[in-house]
Every structure is written in C-alpha cells, then in structure tokens.
Amino acid sequence: MEFQSFGFDPKLFEGIEANGFLTATPIQEQAIPVILEGRDLLASAQTGTGKTAAFLLPIIHKIITSPPSNSVKALIVVPTRELAVQIDQQLEGLSYFTPISSIAVYGGTDGSSFTREQTALSEGADIIICTPGRMIAHLNQNYVKISKLKYLILDEADRMLDMGFYDDITKIISYLPEERQNLLFSATMPEKIKLLSRKVLKNPFEISLAVSKPAEKILQLAYVVYNNQKVPLVKHILDAKTLKSILIFCSTKLSAKNLAIELKKAKLAVEDIHSDLDQEKREMVLSQFKSKQLNILVATDILSRGIDVEDIDLVINYDVPNDGEDYIHRIGRTARAESDGVAITLINEKEQSRFGEIEALLEKEVHKAIVPAQFGEGPKYNPTKRPQFKKKFRRKK
C-alpha cells in the first residue's frame, strides 16, 4: 500500500517522500487508518516494523489539519532517553515541511536543558516525547499547557512496565483531559499490558503482529562455556575478527563495566554504555560508534530496542537475554538493510534452560560451536536442566 493512499496533507507528504518512504509496512497499513478515524488502538508490534511512523504520520496529519491552539496536543511516553531522542529525530524528518513543533523531554541533562523543556511545555509545543520521571517533574510544577491535549501514545509499553513505570504512567494520565485518543504500542502482550490497556483505552481496535523470527541473513552461533571462559573467549573472537562495528550485550551494568575494563586491558578500542553514564557521555559514545570512530561497544539492553545503528557486523550476547523477544531485538541490530551479519551467544551453566526457551521460540536449535582447545572444554549443553538452589530448612522448635 502506497502512502499516497492515506490522503495525508501535502506538506506532510513532502516529508514522507524526502525520507524515502514508498510503501507502508504491515503495522502502518493497519494502524494508520484506525488512528485517522479517531479510535483508540492497542497494537502489538516489535521494534523494526515501522511502528514509530505508524503513529507519527497520522498524528502529525491530524494536528496540522486542525485549528491551531496554544497547548500541547500530543504526548508520547517512552521508557528510555535513547528512544525519546530517536522518535524526536524521526519526527523532525517527517514534519520538516510542516509547522509542527516538538521537543524530547528526558532526564540526565543539565539545568539549561530543563529550562528549555520548561519553555516548550509552558508555551505549548505541539508534540512532546518524554520519559515518565522527567515529565512528572514538569507536571508537578503546574506550568505544562496540557488541558487541550488530544493524543496520548504509550510506546514500548511492556518495557515501561518491566522498568517499574506503572505508577508514573497512571500519574501522568491523571493530569490529562479525559476526552482524548489513546494509542498503546507494545512489543509483547502479557497480562499486565492487557490490564493497563483496560485502564487507559476506550473500546480499542486491536492489532497483533506475530513476533518475527531473526533475519535469515544472520548467522547465529553459540558457545557453551563456564563463566570464567567468557572473557578469554570474547577476546579471542575479537582478535580473530577484522570487523568495523561490533556490539556486545550484557544483562547488567556491572557485567558491561567489567567486560569493558577487561577488553581495554587487551588494547581494544572499546567503550561501555549503560544508565550509570550521564546523558552527554552516552550521546558521545553512541555518536562515536555510529560514525565508526569506535568499533566495539559494550551495552546493556538500553540499546536492544529503539536504537537505529546501521552496518553492525557482529553482535555478541555476553549474557543470555532474559527472554526470546529480547534475543530477537538484540541480534536484530545486525544484518539490517539487506546486509549480512553474525550473532554469537555465550551460554554458561545457569543460562542453559533460558537459552533452551529462546530456541523454542525460534523453533530451531542454534548451532553450538566448539570452544577453542586453549580454553579447555565447556560444560555439556542440557537446556532442560534447571539451576539447582539449596533449600533452606527451618529448625523445629
């Protein structure tokens, strides 16, 4: 389906053409007409399906074809600063030829950024993209012009709930006018998302796109190792590869920090990125990685969703992700735009059952490579074996 079919305002269509959008993706084809009709929407679609444009395009169209007002018209709530920045950048590109005003509102910045956000919110920028905590900080001070808000979008809602933002979301909603259009996008649809949707949405139209499998061009490999074999094996893999762009995922900030330290000791050009870094440092590191000034980046799952970095040759899962969908998001950073890519996962004894669940979601077994002889043998792979925990017995009185 071509974008001309949606009947967008000519000024918006100029931005669509300038960004090289030709035909709508499945989520865009299904969501855009529903949003243009004014219905609430509950949509399950993972990162990389074009869902950002699926809600941005109809919202921009509706704002620029409605009478102007000095108030915030649309609020997009997201879990991370990186996703807020990315959506704001895509919004700027699509709305370039329109009079739309917007700002990304997120924490971890200096006082001048807060003042700039305060000005935009008090003067009524058209579209606000925000993280929950920062938005509440502004709302608490009673200067946000939000009484005429028409559109609320919750993006990556499942991740926001995983990060403990449920109370923050409900607090933000308490400031909004009751008459508004609500859009909820989630990569997964667990029961807690359904509960949230019943609280926020009114008679929503539902779209559910199945979780897609990783691109066929991704070569997936795994090594079954003991935990103390992980660092030496990563160094070995990196020594053997002459790749321009390598992304290593760790499940915790501590794991990312420690691995980066070890790789720097090996004289590798590497930086780590996680939520302990201030925003300026995070943006600098990410910019260096995107521009290929830095070829190895160790990251927590802050980068697995919503960050668009092209031409990544190799993704290494230093820790097995918590679920299959996170695995798909992680390795989906490689083999983009029809290019090839490699994804390698290191599996220790405690992570075997978790990786078995990932293979069940993939509906195939990931090839287990042989651990190089110099590192010794790894454990046997037995994904059905659960980690054993010592039972605590209470002495009878």
Q: Is residue 16 part of a domain?
A: yes
Same domain for 247 and 141?
no
Domain region containing 249:
218-375
For residues 114 and 174, state if they share a domain: yes
Query: Residue 37: how many CB atoms within 10 A of its CB?
Result: 11
Is 178 inside a domain boundary? yes
Among 171, 190, 208, identify where a domain stops: 208
284 & 187 share domain: no
- Domain assignment present for residue 393? The answer is no
Q: Last residue of some domain: 179, 208, 237?
A: 208
* Residue 101: other Cβ atoms inside 10 A: 16
Question: Are residues 185 and 226 located together in one domain of the fold?
Answer: no
Is residue 388 in a domain?
Answer: no
In the chain, the N- to C-terminal Cα span, in Å, equals: 74
**What Å distances lie between residue 353 and 124, 360, 367, CA to CA?**
51, 11, 16
- 285 shares a domain with 160: no
**Longest distance between any two alpha carbons in the chain, whole Å:** 81
Place of tokens 């030496």: 232
Domain presence at residue 298: yes
Q: Do 81 and 223 fall into the same domain?
A: no
Q: Within this chain, do residues 144 and 223 fall inside the same structural domain, yes or no?
A: no
Same domain, 111 and 155: yes
For the record, the structure tokens of 111 come out as 């006082």
Instruction: Judge if pTM exceeds 0.75.
Output: no
What per-residue confidence (pLDDT) applies to 265? 94
Structural element, H or E, at residue 237: helix 230-240
Question: Per the domain annotation, does 384 fall within a domain?
Answer: no
Q: What is the pLDDT of residue 191?
A: 84
Residues 135 and 241 in one domain: no
Q: Is residue 36 part of a domain?
A: yes
Instruction: Please report the pLDDT score of residue 28 as a whole number.
Output: 94
* Model pLDDT, residue 385: 60
Segments of the chain assigned E as strands = 41-44, 74-77, 102-105, 127-130, 151-154, 181-186, 205-208, 218-224, 246-249, 270-273, 296-299, 314-317, 341-347, 367-368
Comparing CA positions, the residue from 391, 394, 392, 320 lying closest to residue 361 is 320
Judgement on whether residues 199 and 233 belong to the same structural domain of the protein:
no
Nearby residues of 230 by Cβ (< 8 Å), 6 or more positions away = 318, 346, 348
At 143, which CATH number? 3.40.50.300
Asked if residue 385 belongs to a domain, the reply is no
HSE-CB of 390 using CA atoms within 13 angstroms = 3
Judgement on whether residues 128 and 265 belong to the same structural domain of the protein: no
Residue 363 is predicted with a pLDDT of 83
Give the model's pLDDT for residue 210. 66
Q: Say whether both 97 and 125 belong to one domain.
A: yes
Position 388 scores a pLDDT of 46
Dihedral, CA atoms, 113, 119, 120, 123, nearest 10 degrees? 180
* Last-in-domain residue among 147, 180, 208: 208
* Domains in the chain, number: 2
The residue ranges of the chain whose pLDDT is under 50 are 306, 387-397
Contact 249, 319 (CB under 8 A): yes
